[in-house]
Chains A and B, each alone.
Chain A
């Protein structure tokens, strides 16, 4: 087993554990902190895949901004952060069985798939991966249209959120 594999197994286990802890805590702030751990694990996976830029973005945006924003939102809106009483409902058992079934199904099928045994090709050598990424966003042969549509989508979501949350005058 190579070093990379050992690191991968360790980080993968850490992500799974953090994800499990995140959904199973009844304290919302604890959940948010476990989410930070899981997101950090994903950032490490990006490093293992030689995607350094994405790893930095993952830490900056997801941990630095989104997770912190969540913690602030929880602390500013809920007086009592431990009031989540029912995390599971009566279908939780069924969901666990279905999930386990799906997992074993995927493991078995993947084991039989010939491409699963081959080693992955080397990452494409590029002088400047960040430049490539930027070019892909603006090149007409790349992701220009999805890039613009994503901004339109965010604009619409923004307007919708403001509309839904904005306090109303009487009679509106």
Chain B
């Protein structure tokens, strides 16, 4: 009765296996390395993640047909594959930007937690079963709670970690209640068997909608969809900036990976109901995120609200519930992960020297370090959706998906919001380029790994803008895996 393990099954979880081996390596190195040479932990993690990325891209590529593996627990398809790439890129850039960040880059625990969280994310993207999905989401979240509160002597970081833990645990309970209702009514936990079971069981629509709402609340919290975004600003501001970068890119992408897969695969019979809810969430997220971002003076808080708004734009693609919609979400996150990483990388570089996250302290940055100014300029213009940066196509795609699905009001609202967004991004750029500061002639050194990370992110976001075709093709293949 024990089945055999095929090479296909191993290759499907290759990234997880390599990451777990990396965790073991970090454990051993952390134990034996002397205190002065602890910086090598970050290097090992970064090299290991790069290796994982290369191995995944080479060997873990799914075939044209999606397959359910490991007894239906995991689905090996293009959606999972592309999201794995996104998570690994996010983790890699986060690791690079932690280099030199005292005291976390000398802590083996930090990298173990970061890698475990990444393992969770790669499994979230591939889960084909509610049990697997729940465990994967928890494996993603629990390390993140500790990472947000990692600076145990810093009150704001403690507050961030504790708030995130309490809200996160509560929302997980809500989501789990939704899962248990689904299992109770259908008798199966497999996401791809739920649809048939729902059809066969004559389950009342009210129960189904109720379960869908509970599940949606759980995922909505993870992606900071308004009105479940309340945790994001405090946590993003208080957490160490590299953790904020990881939270706002990879963790958000993981939420979207689960959201698109579960909603599209499990609830086709109540599409109208759940897409309406997602559409309302999208409208609220965009509008609230952008309007509150207007009045922020701290750049991390500004990016926190901007990331709520960006979750709103990406939700447009989910609300469309079509192939184009899912493709647009995937493309959105391909762009968003590198764009936001570039922005947060620049903030980390500035904080290292200036010691502040206030927008006012960015005055004259352009003269102190012109290339860093350029990085922030490109990242913010991409976030605002200005061509030829990747952010432009990402926004066009989600708006197109909304229009195609008949949600024209939402697309119009999205365009209006993009204009509001442009305003506050430009304010930061104005401070940076035009603002006067008495420190304007002091140099602003950048560590070599940080410059490498920034260059990679900026080149990626430009490539995603200029060479649109192949990446869009990726997004389309991952969308077709769902329908």
Residues of A within 8 A of B (CB): 105-106, 109, 112-115, 135, 138-146, 149-150, 152-153, 155-157, 159-161, 163-164, 168, 172
Contact = CB atoms under 8 A, between A and B. Distances in A.
A104 B69 CA distance: 40
29 contacts: A105-B206, A105-B210, A109-B204, A112-B204, A113-B185, A113-B203, A114-B202, A139-B1, A139-B71, A140-B2, A141-B3, A143-B131, A144-B73, A146-B132, A149-B119, A149-B135, A149-B136, A150-B135, A152-B139, A153-B138, A156-B112, A156-B116, A160-B109, A160-B143, A163-B146, A163-B150, A164-B152, A168-B153, A172-B153
A149 B145 contact: no
A120 to B, nearest CB: 11
Contacts of A109: 204, 206-207
Given A140-B9, A146-B132, A153-B116, 7 more contacts: A143-B131, A145-B123, A146-B129, A149-B119, A153-B139, A159-B112, A164-B161
Contacts of A115: 201-203
Q: Which of B2, B74, B119, B161 has the most CB of A within 10 A?
A: B2
B291 interface: no
B113 interface: yes
A140 B71 contact: yes
Contacts of B4: 140
A159 B113 contact: yes
A164 B203 CA distance: 45
Nearest to B201: A115
Contacts of A135: 1-2
B26 to A, nearest CB: 11
Q: Which of B116, B136, B202 has the most CB of A within 10 A?
A: B116
Nearest to B131: A146
Interface string B150-169: 10110000000100000000
Interface string B8-27: 01000100000010000000
Given A140-B9, A160-B145, A163-B146, A152 B119 contact: yes
Contacts of A112: 204
Given A145-B73, A155-B116, A139 B2 contact: yes
B73 A146 contact: yes
B70 interface: yes
Contacts of A156: 112-113, 116-117, 139, 142-143
Contacts of A142: 71
Contacts of B202: 113-115
B5 interface: yes
A152 B132 CA distance: 13
B86 to A, nearest CB: 20
Given A109-B207, A152-B119, A139 B135 contact: no
A112 B205 CA distance: 11
B317 interface: no
A141 B206 CA distance: 34
B116 A152 contact: yes
B123 A149 contact: yes
Contact of A164 (B3, B112, B146): B146
Nearest to A113: B204
A98 to B, nearest CB: 12
A164 B112 CA distance: 14
Interface of B: 1-5, 9, 13, 20, 70-71, 73-74, 103, 107, 109, 112-113, 116-117, 119-120, 123, 129, 131-132, 135-136, 138-139, 142-143, 145-146, 149-150, 152-153, 161, 185, 201-204, 206-207, 210
A168 B203 CA distance: 55
A145 B13 contact: yes
Nearest to B13: A145
Q: Which of B74, B129, B204 has the most CB of A within 10 A?
A: B204
B207 A168 contact: no
Nearest to B186: A115
Contacts of B129: 146
A133 B3 CA distance: 15
Contacts of B132: 145-146, 149
Given A152-B119, A156-B112, A146 B146 contact: no
Contacts of A140: 2-5, 9, 70-71
Closest 9 CB pairs of A and B: A160-B146, A156-B116, A141-B71, A141-B3, A153-B139, A163-B109, A145-B73, A145-B70, A139-B2
Nearest to A136: B71
Contacts of B161: 164
B456 to A, nearest CB: 27
A32 to B, nearest CB: 19
B74 A138 contact: no
B70 A144 contact: yes
B3 A139 contact: yes
A73 B135 CA distance: 27
Contacts of B185: 113
A138 B112 CA distance: 26
B109 A159 contact: yes
B101 to A, nearest CB: 14
Q: Which of A112, A138, A142, A164 has the most CB of B within 10 A?
A: A164
Contacts of A145: 13, 70, 73-74, 123, 132
Contacts of B120: 149, 153
Contacts of B131: 143, 146
Contacts of A138: 2
Contacts of B103: 172
Contacts of B112: 156, 159
A143 B204 CA distance: 30
Contacts of A159: 109, 112-113
Nearest to A166: B152
B370 to A, nearest CB: 36
Contacts of B136: 149
A106 B208 CA distance: 11
